[in-house]
Amino acid sequence: MSDLIKRAERFARERHAGQFRKGAAQEPYTVHLEEVANLTERWGGGENAIAAAWLHDTVEDCPPISSADLASLFGDEIASIVAELTDDKSLPKAERKRKQVENAPHKSNDASLVKLADKTSNVGAIGKSPPADWSLERRLAYISWADEVVERLPFAPKEGLDEFYKRYDIAELDTYDDLGTIRQGENAGLRVIERRAKRLGASDEKIRQIMLGFMEGAFQK
As a whole number of angstroms, the distance between CA 153 and CA 85 comes to 12
* Helix 47-55 and helix 109-128, axial crossing angle in degrees, nearest 10: 50
Question: CB of residue 23 vs Zn ion: minimum separation in angstroms?
Answer: 13
As a whole number of angstroms, the distance between CA 151 and CA 153 comes to 6
Distance of alpha carbon 204 from the chain centroid: 28
87 in active site: no
Rank residues 79 and 188 by Cβ distance to Zn ion and give the closer one.
Answer: 79
Assess 118 for contact with Zn ion (CB under 5 A): yes
Which stretch in 21-29, 111-119, 153-161, 198-206 sits in contact with Zn ion by CB under 5 A? Answer: 111-119
Rank residues 140 and 146 by Cβ distance to Zn ion and give the closer one.
Answer: 146
Residue 69 phi/psi, 5° resolution?
A: -60, -45
Which residue's CB atom is positioned nearest to Zn ion? 118
Rank residues 57 and 163 by Cβ distance to Zn ion and give the closer one.
Answer: 57
Taking Cα atoms as reference points, which of 207, 211, 205 lies closest to residue 190?
A: 211
Which stretch in 50-58, 92-100, 146-154, 156-164 sits in contact with Zn ion by CB under 5 A? Answer: 50-58
Which stretch in 90-98, 110-118, 153-161, 204-212 sits in contact with Zn ion by CB under 5 A? Answer: 110-118
Question: CB of residue 192 vs Zn ion: minimum separation in angstroms?
Answer: 25
Q: Which of 60, 77, 148, 194 is catalytic?
A: 60
As a whole number of angstroms, the distance between CA 123 and CA 163 comes to 10
Question: CB of residue 145 vs Zn ion: minimum separation in angstroms?
Answer: 14
Assess 84 for contact with Zn ion (CB under 5 A): no
As a whole number of angstroms, the distance between CA 125 and CA 108 comes to 25
Question: CB of residue 95 vs Zn ion: minimum separation in angstroms?
Answer: 19
61 in active site: yes
Alpha-helical (H) ranges within the chain are 3-15, 29-42, 47-55, 58-61, 67-74, 76-84, 93-103, 109-128, 136-151, 158-179, 182-199, 204-220
Residues touching Zn ion, count (CB under 5 A)? 2
Q: Which of 27, 34, 47, 61 is catalytic?
A: 61
Q: Of residues 51-70, which lie at the interface with Zn ion (CB under 5 A)?
A: 57
As a whole number of angstroms, the distance between CA 115 and CA 156 comes to 9
Active site residues: 60-61
Q: Where do contacts with Zn ion occur on this chain (CB under 5 A)? A: 57, 118
